[in-house]
Chains A and B, each alone.
Chain A
Amino acid sequence: MTFFDVITRGLKRRPIRTGLTLLGISLGIAAVVALIGLSRGLVTSWTAGMKERGTDIVVHNMRGSLTPKPFPAATRDRIAHLPGVAATCMILVDLMSVETAELMIVSGREWDCFAWENLKLVSGRMPKDQNERAILLGTTAADILKKKVGDTVQIETEELAVVGIVNGGAFVENSSIILSLPMLQQITGNHDQISAIDVRVTPGVNDAGIRSLCAEMSRLIPEARAEPAGQHIANSEGYRVINGMSWGTSLLAILVGVLGVTNTMLMSVFERKQEIAILLALGWKRSRIVQMILWESLMLGFFGGIIGVLVGIAGVQMMKMAPAIRGLLEPNLSAGLMLMAIAIAVFVGVLSGLYPAWRSSRVEPSLALHG
């Protein structure tokens, strides 16, 4: 028998209570995994989309929301000539309700710019020109809308033909409805307006050069803001609100877990007062008793963390299928997030065990000779 056996037996003696405590802590950890995974996924999926398009810098006007606010297309002329800028592509992007889908990414792109290059045809063809009343569907978007080449899709009041299904190489690209910029400007009434300028820098421009270019572009276009691709999401107020709410909700759930484990361990210490006294009478040091309680608490946290991660993954998979989210979010369930969640659970376990452990250290060994 090892000290570890002593700890695990301590947890097994009240299986229902231990199980309920594990459930409590695992729900908190599941909330961390699901909510933080989803909010981080927002950044990583958009960043991946940008990377696939070959975009290095995004000029946008996305301050208080997740979707950028339109600004004049003419502003592009102020930055296109800058040294280090290889190409630019004007984009109008919006989140819209399209037919049966509650929210879809609709991306209008300047005709013939680099943002079309990453789109690999899975079926059908590319639009003939920017005036054709045609759209491309990313593979996921086609799946969500249940459309194939030859079908039509109604966007606002316009009915457009699906001429191709494309693989854009990234979740956001595959979840989008893609059409020419003038077509979307006309449909949404945003004439001569765009919501982003994708900028591709010349080869050899490093991160410092990109940051310098961003500063220069932001200066030249005060009505918008230039940031390295991906950061525009992470830095947006909308994302910060989502991230903050995710952490806030998670921390509340974790707090409930802390209280649950503390309660369980405290009850366990009270119930085992005489047993602890017997262990002290048999020669156990108080520090070993404290270690025993802390390890039990830590184990609750650890296993609660593992269960929580699994529940969180399952929860995210279900949330992904929800009509309001499907196709919009690709959760970032990275190994780092899992490890962080388990580390939080272990920390919660130790934290929750501190007071019960202190109480256990106050038990008098003379209690062993009573009763």
Chain B
Amino acid sequence: MNSKLSESEQTAASPFVFEAAGLKKDYDDGQVHALRGVGFKVREGEFVAIVGPSGSGKTTLLQLLGALDRPTAGTLKYRGESLLDLTNPASYRAHEIGFIFQAFHLLPIFTAIENVQIPMFESHQTRAARKTRALELLNAVGLAQRVNHFPAKLSGGERQRVAVARSLANSPSVLLADEPTGNLDSESAKHILDLITSFHRDRRMTLILITHDMSVASRASRAIQMKDGQVVFDGDPAKLSRQG
């Protein structure tokens, strides 16, 4: 609890990374309202867990934060600049954001080290530099001995560790994780969560993580609960737990 307060104190003075106001997202010509006026702010270095039942709008929100999609209405800023006005969303995704997916989404035709290098093609590094960086990251996630293995030859936990390494390839300042432990057994899930939180802490990265698991959310410094496309809770995860 004390460490959380200390983390909160540290981040309280940090600038905002994301500022969302009145975010709406409709699908199917307005028949489906995935987000109905969502607003929140995230400071640099925060660990925010987004919780809520399926269909509550969590993934849609993550898509908007990662500039994978555009909102139907509302404003969304990244470091004070509107994400809606991005002229080069690919560059934003390549250099500012690291994605971790529930289903790992490693490319099966590439080895672990090659998968980690994929995002680096947009960072204009030399081939040798890409390889060195990928090795360094795989070493950091404890897979130095598995660099030349294809995803099919790796366990679920190992695949997600490769995916974590890949998300860090271009040293992003924000990690967006979509149920990163959702497809893992409890031991692997704990290991992955430890890994992600350690990177968040050690590299002062902003971490926004979607989860169904309250025990995972409890490790965040802040929880945002969503229901029917709206934020119904934003605060201390411990209180969220008490609310059930």
Contacts and interface: CB of A to CB of B under 8 A. Distances in A.
Contacts of A288: 121-122
B93 A275 contact: no
Given A282-B94, A284-B90, A368-B105, A9 B110 contact: yes
A3 B62 contact: no
A3 B118 CA distance: 9
Nearest to B99: A281
A1 B131 contact: yes
B119 interface: yes
Contact of B114 (A5, A10, A285, A368): A5
Interface in A84-109: none
Given A285-B90, A364-B69, A369-B62, A279 B101 contact: no
A86 B119 CA distance: 76
Interface string B99-118: 10101010111100110011
A283 B109 contact: no
B59 A369 contact: yes
Q: Pick the most buried of B59, B93, B108, B170: most chain A CB atoms within 10 A of its CB.
A: B93
Q: Do most interface residues of chain B lie in helix, strand or loop, or is the interface mixed?
A: helix
A20 B114 CA distance: 28
A285 B66 contact: no
Q: Pick the most buried of A1, A3, A12, A285: most chain B CB atoms within 10 A of its CB.
A: A1
B90 A278 contact: no
Nearest to A1: B114
A334 interface: no
B158 interface: no
Given A5-B114, A283-B90, A369 B178 contact: yes
B118 A365 contact: no
Contacts of A274: 105
Contact of B68 (A5, A275, A281): A281
A157 interface: no
B170 A369 contact: no
Kindly state the interface size class of chain A when it binds its partner. Answer: 20 to 34
B97 to A, nearest CB: 8
A283 B114 CA distance: 15
Contacts of B103: 371
Contacts of B97: 283
Given A9-B110, A282-B118, A368 B68 contact: yes
Interface residues of B, number: 34
Contact of B118 (A279, A286, A366): A279
B121 A368 contact: no
A283 B95 contact: yes
Nearest to A272: B107
B107 A283 contact: no
B63 interface: yes
Contact of B99 (A1, A13, A282): A282
Given A1-B127, A2-B127, A366 B63 contact: yes
A280 interface: yes
B93 A283 contact: yes
Contacts of B178: 369
Contacts of A2: 127
B22 to A, nearest CB: 20
A286 B101 CA distance: 21
Q: Pick the most buried of A3, A12, A283, A371: most chain B CB atoms within 10 A of its CB.
A: A283
Given A12-B109, A278-B107, A283 B122 contact: yes
Contacts of A275: 107
Contacts of A368: 68, 99, 101, 105
Given A5-B114, A288-B121, A280 B90 contact: yes
Contact of A369 (B68, B94, B117): B68
A12 B62 CA distance: 34
A282 B166 contact: yes
B130 interface: yes
A12 B110 CA distance: 11
A282 B68 contact: no
A101 B122 CA distance: 66
12 contacts: A1-B127, A6-B110, A9-B110, A280-B68, A282-B93, A282-B118, A282-B119, A282-B166, A364-B68, A368-B68, A368-B99, A369-B59
In the A-B complex, list the 6 residue pairs whose CB atoms are closest, starting with the nearest: A283-B94, A366-B68, A285-B90, A366-B69, A282-B119, A365-B68
Given A282-B94, A285-B122, 4 more contacts: A274-B105, A283-B90, A284-B121, A369-B68
Interface of B: 59, 62-63, 66, 68-69, 88, 90-91, 93-95, 97, 99, 101, 103, 105, 107-110, 113-114, 117-119, 121-122, 127, 130-131, 166, 170, 178
